[in-house]
A and B are shown apart, each in its own frame.
Chain A
Amino acid sequence: MDEDILQDFLAEAQDLLEQLNEQLVDLEQVPDDIELLNAIFRAFHTIKGGAGFIGIKPLVEVCHRAENVFDKIRNSEMTYTPEVADIILQVYDTITDMINRLQEGEREFEDVDPDLLARLDALVKGGSATPSESTESSSASDTTMSETAAVAEVPLELPEDWDPDDDITDEEFELLLQMREQKLAAGEVGADDDNKALAEVPLELPEGWDPDEDITDEEFEQLLQMREEKLSQVESAAESDGADHVEPEPAPAETGTSSQPAAVAEHSQIRQVNEEPAMPADKTKAAEPKAESTAPAAKSESTVRVDTKRLDEIMNLVGELVLVRNRLLTLRNGQEVDLEEISNAVSNLDHVTTDLQAAVMKTRMQPVKKVFGRFPRVVRDLARKLGKQIELELRGEDTDLDKNLVEALADPLVHLVRNSVDHGIEPPEERIKAGKPPVGHIILAAEQEGDHILLSITDDGRGMDPEKLKRKAIEKGLIDEMTAAQMSDKEAFELIMAPGFSTAETISDISGRGVGMDVVKSMITRLNGSIEIDSVQGQGTQIKIRVPLTLAILPTLMVAFGEDSYSIPLTSVQEIFDYNPDETNRIDGQMMVQLRERSIPLYFLQEWLAPDIEPQPEGNEAERDKVVIVNVGGQRVGLVVQQVKGQEEVVIKPLGVMLQKVAGYAGATITGNGSIALILDLPGVLQRYNQMH
């Protein structure tokens, strides 16, 4: 199996699956949306094609059946009911599972659960309105079946001088196709009439075709359509769906990016109302764990799709950069020093670099849709299971943020949304009693706020009772009565993020076992973000998450010991003041400083970071050591440093593999003067410091 082709297939399949996840849930709201149906049909069709080409027969089989179901639906021979949806979602999970396993390196696949296949077949057979139509469509499906089966069975034979490491050229590809068709025509694999017909239909290229150029998705799609059209003529079965094939359709791969079909755009506000009572448990159980498995899969993806326009922009800027370099080189070789020329060149260099940096950063940006896309499904499944009616609204899906962040945010958000569904929104009866509409509403929104992204999850559920939270925290020994009495409502809400706190009366397997919110909080903190909770009892809860636009650039406070600089993430820094030994005292072996009637432990970083540097002479105020008060996971500590140099935005660079195990560093960066500063990882620093004492 050729790796390049496989990787291309995987990338495409993952894109399609991501869209399918949304489209399938959308479809439940508008079951007769023909554009949406076509898009879904094409997605299954494309995956089937790819799977056939790389020879994964179970995948072909399951996709093929799904395709048949959607073919019937779009021909109005059956409707997409929630029951059909359950089966199709199960198909979706099966396909996702196989694609993930392919990605992880598995190459052999067992047959798909025959029960699922049987149910799909039953859908296709039972869905037709009249007997005559039934025979017609089933014979049609049979022909396609044998076609795909044959496709899967014809092994691709590679030419002798084939180099697996090389990209396949157009000629080679053409040749392979020909060889394959010849075989088919020769009946080597027991080709029936259909296959002969298949082989006899030549691929006609559209006018204006440039053989030297790469084929675009649209062109490929067009070719496929032309071919199908021909086939249907050959079969002289001018069925109603022929019209669909002729209709020029945009390539499915495009739908996710820029040119969304109108239908999908219309539904960018995803409405998902669940009117059905909870379905039989066995079915949900089958679907549930597989839905979970889609989450980690997104992480292993290591490619980014970049708009070619952005690449052109970068190319352009690099061209500029080369020009500047040439100019500087000429200046260096010149006889006289022309300061003005040099200064011009340098300011030009300054511009180009700034633009280039921004342009490269943009290539890492991805729409938040990548994360949001999975939520309609998460909410649908959960609401069905809990017997709740919930409408999920997504806002600001096109907000861009760093690729790493998109991935890192997925888990915390899933947790928060599940919390809203499970704890926030009440069951319909309770809502009606409280005078609310029976359908609960959850809004998941993203927007850019300066150099931050604000994500919010808002529900109109039962809200939180600050007094109840306080009582619970006291019971669990997290706070004492005094603290509780002084707490504001907002502080009380934050209690739910304290380790060991869980609001659920009974532990449900949906929102976890009270390990949830504190984990969410630490995940967000790790991204240098913050989390804020607002709630009005009886009216709902809003959780706001703020994260920086990118993980690559970090605002820091530069401190130094002698020549060596260290950066402390600015989000943790609270205040800075001069170190005065007279204001410290030793409590239980630990040096403490008094700050507004609170004792804060002091950590003398010099002992660890720069043991061979002379301590500063006392007296001169400007040269006194400084205390930097930082907040590390809710605990305030004072770091004693020799100098505070000021704020600096730094680009985080990883330390090599051999240094990654050393606790206390989050990475390194290169400062303005070209030297290296180490970025401190505060939890690691404290842990390390405590071990030393």
Chain B
Amino acid sequence: MEVTEAMQNEPYLTPAEAAEEEAIGPMQRCVLFNLDRETYGIDVSNIREVLRVGRIRKVPGADPRLLGVINVRGVIVTVADMRRMIDVPVSDLTHESRIIIVELEEDCPVGLLVDRVQEVRDIPEKRIEPLGSSQEDNSRYIQGIAHYRDQVIILVDVPSLFES
């Protein structure tokens, strides 16, 4: 994964905090990003890189949730609007908009357009509450909710985002 400026500002931990972290147990390392005012997280193992938004070529006739295709060093990558994928009202692009390139399966990259990418953070697995199995269809993409350091983070399961 390429390092972008957003990922470098890892919060500084005091030794005491670090010790506490260690005691907490296994961690899930996530890239955090925003849509509207919510914070979401995607496991880093799914992510290939984060890109600034360039020109997105429309593909007339495609699913409206798909914005089009971009050229990532010679590979044509489909870009989906994360807002549309999870039914958040659409907004305009800003200078903070980013495309997160995730790997659906091997050699199958897909871009997700998000409002802002925050940072990479280790979230203790203990702090992640899985959602019950009685989820509705439109929230199936939620792998769990984490409450950690004053933040509520919605963890997104990338493969189920693109199911159906």
Binding site for B on A (CB under 8 A): 564, 608-610, 653-659, 662-665, 667-668, 670, 674-676, 678, 688
Q: Taking CB as reference atom, which chain A residue is nearest B59?
A: A659
Q: Please name all residues of chain A whose beta carbon is closer than 8 Å to the beta carbon of B23 when the two chains form the complex.
A: none
B74 A658 Cβ-Cβ under 8 A: no
Kindly supply a per-residue 1/0 record for chain B positions 145-162, scoring 1 wherever the CB is within 8 Å of any chain A CB and 0 otherwise. Answer: 000000000000000001
Which one of B2-10, B60-68, B129-137 is at the interface? Answer: B60-68
A656 B74 Cβ-Cβ under 8 A: no
Min CB gap A181→B, angstroms: 40
Q: Taking CB as reference atom, which chain A residue is nearest B110?
A: A656
Name the interface residues of B56-106: CB closer than 8 Å to any CB of A. Answer: 57-63, 66, 69-71, 74-78, 80, 104
Please list 8 pairs of residues, one from A and one from B, whose beta carbons are closer than 8 Å in the complex, sorted by A's number.
A653-B74, A656-B77, A656-B108, A657-B104, A657-B108, A662-B59, A668-B57, A675-B55
Min CB gap A177→B, angstroms: 34
Min CB gap A550→B, angstroms: 17
Of the candidates B61, B69, B80, B104, which one forms a contact with A676 in the assembled complex, judged by CB atoms under 8 Å apart?
B69
Q: Please name all residues of chain B whose beta carbon is closer than 8 Å to the beta carbon of A664 when the two chains form the complex.
A: 61
Q: Please name all residues of chain A whose beta carbon is closer than 8 Å to the beta carbon of B58 when the two chains form the complex.
A: 564
B75 A653 Cβ-Cβ under 8 A: yes
Closest 7 CB pairs of A and B: A656-B78, A676-B57, A668-B76, A653-B76, A609-B60, A662-B62, A662-B61
B71 A658 Cβ-Cβ under 8 A: no
User: How many pairs of A and B residues are in contact by the CB < 8 Å rule?
Assistant: 60
Complex Cα–Cα for A656 and B104 (A): 11
Interface size class of B (residues with CB under 8 A): 20 to 34
Q: Please name all residues of chain A whose beta carbon is closer than 8 Å to the beta carbon of B62 when the two chains form the complex.
A: 658-659, 662
Task: Classify the secondary structure of A's interface with B.
Answer: mixed
Of the candidates A608, A656, A662, A674, which one forms a contact with B76 in the assembled complex, judged by CB atoms under 8 Å apart?
A656
A655 B110 Cβ-Cβ under 8 A: no
Q: Please name all residues of chain A whose beta carbon is closer than 8 Å to the beta carbon of B70 when the two chains form the complex.
A: 676
B60 A655 Cβ-Cβ under 8 A: no
Min CB gap B46→A, angstroms: 16
Q: Please name all residues of chain A whose beta carbon is closer than 8 Å to the beta carbon of B61 when the two chains form the complex.
A: 608, 662-664, 688
Of the candidates B60, B63, B75, which one forms a contact with A658 in the assembled complex, judged by CB atoms under 8 Å apart?
B63
Q: Taking CB as reference atom, which chain B residue is nearest A605?
A: B60
Complex Cα–Cα for A663 and B62 (A): 9
Min CB gap B145→A, angstroms: 27
Q: Please name all residues of chain B whose beta carbon is closer than 8 Å to the beta carbon of A678 when the two chains form the complex.
A: 57, 59
Q: Please name all residues of chain B whose beta carbon is closer than 8 Å to the beta carbon of A656 when the two chains form the complex.
A: 69, 76-78, 108-110
B78 A655 Cβ-Cβ under 8 A: yes
Q: Please name all residues of chain A whose beta carbon is closer than 8 Å to the beta carbon of B110 when the two chains form the complex.
A: 656, 658
Min CB gap A553→B, angstroms: 14
Complex Cα–Cα for A670 and B70 (A): 10
Q: Please name all residues of chain A whose beta carbon is closer than 8 Å to the beta carbon of B80 when the two chains form the complex.
A: 658
Name the interface residues of B31-67: CB closer than 8 Å to any CB of A. Answer: 55, 57-63, 66
Q: Please name all residues of chain A whose beta carbon is closer than 8 Å to the beta carbon of B78 when the two chains form the complex.
A: 655-656, 658-659
Given contacts A654-B76, A662-B62, 12 further A-B contacts (CB under 8 A): A608-B60, A653-B76, A656-B77, A656-B108, A658-B80, A658-B162, A663-B61, A668-B69, A668-B76, A674-B71, A676-B70, A676-B71
